[in-house]
Amino acid sequence: MSSELSPVASRPDGPAAPHTTPGSPSNTPGSLREAWVAIAGLSAVFLFEMLDNSILNVALPTIGRELHASTSALQLVTSSYAIVFGGLMLALSALADRVGRRRIMLIGLVLLALASLATAVVTTPEELIAVRAVMGVAAAMTTPGSLALAFRLFEDDTLRVRATTVISTVGLVGLSIGPTVGGLVLAVAPWQVLLLINVPIAALAFIGIRRGVAVDDPEGLHRDPVDIAGGILGTVTIVATLLAPTLFVEAGSGSGAGAGSGSGSSLEIGSWAPWLAVAAAVVAGALFVWRERTARHPLLDLRLVALPLVSSGLAFKAASGLATAGLGYLITLQLQLAWGWSPAQAALGMLPQVVVLLGGGVLIGPVVKRVGLENAAWMSATAVVAGLAVFATLGRFGYGWVLLALVLVAAGMRVVGVVAGTNVMRGLPSTRTTIGAALVDTASEVATAVGIAVAGTILAALFTGSITAGGWSAAQGVEFANAVEIGGGVLTVLAGALVVVGMVRARRA
């Protein structure tokens, strides 16, 4: 475990309160202006993470039509990134603590640029899924260290807060404008442009970090050995768990039922594969827990996760990520495929969420001051879940209900990211905040992947024929509406249960 300190990468709307970091460079900048090169590079790293999935979601129908992708393949296009990102984040954060955050980040940025360039030659869903998985590796190498490196640029806490605020704001702008920009770009350019845009972002980040961030001080690196076995077991557990639902649907779609069967690419899966994934998840999960309890230097000290404020903050973050991912996935498909909106129209339909996310920052201080951190956490997480419930039950009846869902989710998400992440940091020993940052990011990414997996799997199971083919029959329209209602309902129950867990754990703090 790392004894170094970092701010929490509180996605999607900002970092938690910082702590004092030992071993900062003696020659530190005295203002943000002096460190503008480094801040620009680190902001570009955070922009990539926030912009990536949000800008890609609006292109899913176009990708499905052009690559003849099944619904399950489209699901993997988005979830493969999140699965790999979430699965590797803890392991690569531990590695960065030992060999240097700056070094790992620079390598990850090169990998990101190369993977994004490969998008230009993609011709099948399987190739795109592979590219997305490699991008997930790059994100796991870069994102957790972005706010941590910014925090270590300065010795003054005021400058640290201002720097991390700038970086998180840039990321939030990317998250907010992603669907709108993506829709407008699709009106004039091929979908590949949405991923090729990562190349200049990675280049900007590389230059800024290379020139503006000092090489890691060897005295500040962690000397304990990396828990390689724990990293492998944790990654296998997460990946197998998230793949199992998709594999079950694919195994049963050979008769033509399920999403995307028919003409088009469908991953050929044997009937044994889903059960193998379940078995792998159970066995690897059990071995991971045993390993972390018995290892001298565990990848993740499970006692830290059990601390009340830590577990409550992670539960609230997971609930928010689950609901937000499921809502974004389902709304994108409904606007474009069920209602026949163009990508540009769908982007404008998502614009209210952008407005609330960008303008909602002024609410955080007053809300926390009035109700306290613990109450603000569960109230904002509940707002996100309520938004998903509104869409699941009433979204089919018109855009007004979709608008209400978007506003509730955006308002709750704007607050919960800050307060839940802050609670995690408050609940951890001061020597364990680096792993706290990784835990918060991992909770968000795993929940995002679960949300997409659940929504996509239910949709694939209930919709017959190719979902991306035009001219749905009346029966297919009903199937889609039912799938949205059931999928949204299941995610609402799961996210609501996580909110309850968070409330119970917070009361024990």
Q: What is the pLDDT of residues 397-439, one digit of tens each?
A: 999 999 999 999 888 887 776 677 777 767 776 556 566 677 8
Residue 392 token pair:
């699941």
- What was the pLDDT predicted at 85? 83
Q: Which one is predicted more confidently, 122 or 35?
A: 122
Given a cut of 60, whether residue 266 has pLDDT beyond it is no
What confidence tens digit (pLDDT) does each residue in 43-86 have?
Answer: 888 888 778 767 887 888 888 888 988 777 887 887 788 778 87
The residue among 476, 482, 36, 66 whose CA lies nearest residue 265 is 66
Element (H, E) at 286: helix 273-294
Given a cut of 50, whether residue 20 has pLDDT beyond it is no
Least confident piece of the model among 22-26, 150-154, 274-278: 22-26
The residue among 172, 173, 168, 104 whose CA lies nearest residue 137 is 104
- What was the pLDDT predicted at 432? 62
Give helix 308-333 / helix 373-394 axis angle, nearest 10°: 20
CA–CA distance, 441 with 238 (Å, rounded to integer): 14
DSSP 30: S
CA–CA distance, 58 with 41 (Å, rounded to integer): 27
- What was the pLDDT predicted at 328? 84
Asked if omega into 218 is within 30° of 0 (cis), the reply is no
* CA separation, residue 321 to residues 6, 18, 114, 297, 409 (Å): 22, 23, 28, 30, 10
- What was the pLDDT predicted at 76? 80
- What was the pLDDT predicted at 457? 81
Mean pLDDT confidence for 30-51: 84
- What was the pLDDT predicted at 81? 84
DSSP 214: P
Residue 333 CA, chain-centre distance (Å), reads: 19
Given a cut of 90, whether residue 28 has pLDDT beyond it is no
189 burial via Cβ count (<10 Å: 0-12, 13-18, 19+): exposed
What confidence tens digit (pLDDT) does each residue in 342-400 have?
Answer: 877 887 888 888 788 777 766 766 777 788 777 888 888 899 999 999 999 999 999 99
Residue 438 token pair:
């990784």
Residue 304 token pair:
């830290």
CA–CA distance, 469 with 332 (Å, rounded to integer): 16
What confidence tens digit (pLDDT) does each residue in 152-187 have?
Answer: 677 766 676 667 667 777 877 777 777 778 888 888
Buried (b) or exposed (e) across 197-213, using 16+ Cβ within 10 A?
Answer: bbbebbebbbebbeebb
- What was the pLDDT predicted at 54? 72
Given a cut of 50, whether residue 500 has pLDDT beyond it is yes
Mean pLDDT confidence for 256-281: 61
Given a cut of 50, whether residue 260 has pLDDT beyond it is no
Longest CA–CA span in the chain (Å) reads 69
Residue 222 CA, chain-centre distance (Å), reads: 27
Given a cut of 70, whether residue 15 has pLDDT beyond it is no
Judge whether 339 and 134 are in contact, CB under 8 Å. Answer: no
Given a cut of 60, whether residue 98 has pLDDT beyond it is yes
* CA separation, residue 314 to residues 280, 440, 447 (Å): 25, 6, 10
Given a cut of 50, whether residue 219 has pLDDT beyond it is yes
The secondary structure of 291-334 as a DSSP string is: HHHH-SS-SS-HHHHTSHHHHHHHHHHHHHHHHHHHHHHHHHHI
Q: Which residues contact 87 (CB under 8 A, 6 or more apart)?
A: 140, 234, 235, 238, 239
Q: How many CB atoms lie within 10 A of CB 124?
A: 13
- Return the bridge partners of 259, or none: 465
| pLDDT band at residue 288 using 50, 70 and 90 as cut-offs | very high
State the number of CA atoms in the 13 A half-sphere of 335 facing the CB.
Answer: 29
The residue among 450, 103, 407 whose CA lies nearest residue 242 is 450
List phi, psi (to 5°) of 265: -75, 130
- Return the bridge partners of 465, or none: 259
Percent composition of the chain: helix, strand, coil (DSSP 3-state, to 5):
75, 0, 20
* CA separation, residue 133 to residues 52, 238, 444, 445 (Å): 13, 14, 17, 13
- What was the pLDDT predicted at 9? 35
Least confident piece of the model among 69-73, 311-315, 345-349, 474-478: 69-73
- What was the pLDDT predicted at 220? 64
Given a cut of 50, whether residue 191 has pLDDT beyond it is yes
Judge whether 363 and 381 are in contact, CB under 8 Å. Answer: no
- What was the pLDDT predicted at 18? 39
312 burial via Cβ count (<10 Å: 0-12, 13-18, 19+): buried
CA–CA distance, 387 with 475 (Å, rounded to integer): 27
Mean pLDDT confidence for 142-157: 71
- What was the pLDDT predicted at 108? 93
Strand residues in 311-415 grouped as ranges (E):
none
CA–CA distance, 238 with 81 (Å, rounded to integer): 13
CA–CA distance, 71 with 69 (Å, rounded to integer): 7
The chain-wide mean pLDDT, for the chain, equals 79
Q: Which one is predicted more confidently, 161 or 499?
A: 499
Residue 41 token pair:
């590079």
- What was the pLDDT predicted at 482? 92
Judge whether 146 and 22 are in contact, CB under 8 Å. Answer: no
Residue 242 CA, chain-centre distance (Å), reads: 14
Which of 223-237, 288-302, 330-344, 481-495 has the highest average model confidence (pLDDT)?
481-495
